[in-house]
Amino acid sequence: MPAWTNLVFEPYVSAGNDAAQSNTWQTWNVAVGNLYSTREIGNGTPLSGYQTFTLAQLKEKFPSAVVVGVALNVGSGNPHYDIRVDAVNFNGTVYDFETAAPRDTAAPTVPTKLRWTNPAVACGGTTTSATIRANWDASSDNVAVASYEYSVKTPLRTSWDAAWTTNVGSTTSLAGVFNQGKGTYTFRDRAFDAAGNASPWSIDCAIT
CA–CA distances in Å: residue 30 to residues 54, 82, 138, 193: 10, 7, 34, 23
Q: Which of 48-52, 67-71, 173-177 has the lowest mean pLDDT?
A: 67-71
Using only the alpha carbons of the chain, give its radius of gyration. Answer: 26
Whether 85 and 8 have beta carbons less than 8 Å apart is answered as: no
Same domain flag for 22 and 72: yes
Q: 57, 83, 103: which is the final residue of a domain?
A: 103
Same domain flag for 162 and 74: no
Alpha helices, H only, the chain: 55-61
Give residue-wise pLDDT tens across range 71-107. Answer: 333 333 333 333 333 333 334 444 333 333 457 889 9
Q: 66, 82, 103: which is the final residue of a domain?
A: 103
Same domain flag for 57 and 144: no
In sequence order, the 6+-apart residues with CB closer than 8 A to the CB of 90 are: 12, 19, 20, 64, 65, 66
Same domain flag for 191 and 144: yes
Whether 72 and 81 have beta carbons less than 8 Å apart is answered as: yes
Same domain flag for 6 and 91: yes
Residue 162 scores a pLDDT above 50: yes
Q: Which domain range does residue 172 map to?
A: 112-207
Query: What per-residue confidence (pLDDT) applies to 130?
Result: 84
Same domain flag for 91 and 145: no
> How many angstroms separate the CA atoms of 107 and 193, rounded?
7
Q: 80, 103, 126: which is the final residue of a domain?
A: 103
> How many angstroms separate the CA atoms of 113 and 95, rounded?
53
Give the count of domains, the chain.
2
Same domain flag for 98 and 119: no
Higher per-residue confidence, 174 vs 20: 174
How many beta carbons lie within 10 A of that of residue 133, not counting itself?
Answer: 18
**Model pTM?**
0.54
Give residue-wise pLDDT tens across range 47-60. Answer: 333 344 444 454 45
In sequence order, the 6+-apart residues with CB closer than 8 A to the CB of 47 are: 39, 40, 41
Amino acid at 35: L
Whether 119 and 128 have beta carbons less than 8 Å apart is answered as: no
